[in-house]
Amino acid sequence: MIPLNIDLPNTHQLVQLSPDLYWGRLPLPFRLDHINLYVIDTPDGWVIIDAGIYGEQTRNYWKALLDGFLSEKPINKIIITHHHVDHIGFASELAQMTGAECYSSAAEKEHAQFLFDLSAIDFSELLASHYTRYGLPEAEIALGRNDSDRYRRYVPELPEFKEFSATDIIKGCNSHWQCRIDRGHSSGQISLINKKDSLFLPTDFLLPRISPNISADIRNTDKDVLGDYLNYLHEMSAISPEIKIFPGHDWPFINGNKRANTLINHHNHRLELLLAEAKLKPISASDGIDILFKRRFESHELFFASGEARAHLTHLMCQQKVSKKTEIRNHIEVDVFTA
Ligand SMILES: [Zn+2]
């Protein structure tokens, strides 16, 4: 991965990346403190890629941009690449502010609706039941039980989504952007490719610094989401190093093929660590947290760490390298994996 020498956008400003592509950065209230958003200039108006998290900072950001740089043309479309709160949270209000319609893939629409429709009690019970099967200690299960509004807190409303599929394109003033849909980090994320100019917007699937979180699907923890993501990474490991990559976080880069290989190695290393331990004794997802991270986590990060540990164990199971059994630990049924 080699960073491109492009200055970061200042607050409320967009940086021009190509004749009709612009880049902005929206603030986030987390350790990862921003997301990148992109705007494509089309003959029918601006197409906005991702809306940001719900909140006052995001509202002020969009007001400034809509009154400033974006004021000369209408907003033609808002594309929400995936259902994660930092991308979708402000979509409904942005649609109201601009009069534009929101688009997402069928899988992301459905996933967002599922999470949005869960009552606070159902959400916390679902989380606590997974944490229990993962073998987490009672104090950490309680963190899950208390984390009941983790989606709605940042996504208070969903817009009416129109569907965007892998055959859709965006015609910019000077470019053609082909859509693709991928599974792994989320259930059907939209990315956009401009083949002629070798530009790629992979959103969260190919990041220059962070390994995108790969969490077990909370509706089916036996689904091989890591397998899906590794398939994606193998495809990416064969792309041209020249392609300019504009990701969902951090900075633009080239050598995306090498970055994909680094991420494959990262996951393979984690799989090896878990497999070596599973050869010695049955391990739970909770044991997996200790093996992979060598520390415990608070509520927000516990969700990702436990989901990541389970996703890796699930992948080993789907590769038939380990098998899943139920073990009684402290009178509770826990999923454990043995090689
Ligand atoms: Zn994401």
The whole-number pLDDT of residue 201 equals 98
Q: How far is the CA of 280 from the centre of ligand 1 (A)?
A: 35
Q: How far is the CA of 94 from the centre of ligand 1 (A)?
A: 19
Q: How far is the CA of 81 from the centre of ligand 1 (A)?
A: 9
The whole-number pLDDT of residue 154 equals 92
Q: How far is the CA of 195 from the centre of ligand 1 (A)?
A: 24
Distance CA 64, CA 11 (A): 9
The whole-number pLDDT of residue 243 equals 98
Q: How far is the CA of 189 from the centre of ligand 1 (A)?
A: 9
In the block, tokens 């049924």 appear at: 333
DSSP letter at 239 equals S
Backbone CA torsion sign across 134, 136, 142, 143: negative
- Domains located in the chain, CATH noted: 2-271 (3.60.15.10)
Q: How far is the CA of 185 from the centre of ligand 1 (A)?
A: 6
Nearest to 185 by CA among 157, 146, 216: 216
The whole-number pLDDT of residue 144 equals 87
Q: How far is the CA of 186 from the centre of ligand 1 (A)?
A: 7
Q: How far is the CA of 30 from the centre of ligand 1 (A)?
A: 13
The DSSP code sequence of 69-123 is GGGGS-EEEEE---SSHHHHTTHHHHHHHH-PEEEE-HHHHHHHHHHHHS-HHHH
- Residues measured by CB to lie within 5 Å of ligand 1, the ion: 84, 204
Q: What is the pTM of this model?
A: 0.95
Average pLDDT per run of 10 along the chain, which is 339 residues long? 91 93 93 94 98 96 96 97 97 98 98 94 91 96 85 94 96 96 97 97 97 95 98 98 97 97 98 98 98 93 95 98 95 96
Which distant-in-sequence residues (6+ apart) come within 8 Å of 320 by Cβ? none
CA-based angle 184:158:75, to the nearest 5?
Answer: 95
The whole-number pLDDT of residue 193 equals 98
Q: How far is the CA of 251 from the centre of ligand 1 (A)?
A: 16
For 260, phi then psi, to 5°, come to -60, -40
Instruction: Using CB atoms within 10 Å of the CB of residue 265, give its burial: 0 to 12 exposed, 13 to 18 middle, 19+ buried.
Output: exposed
Q: How far is the CA of 318 from the centre of ligand 1 (A)?
A: 24
Distance CA 303, CA 216 (A): 10
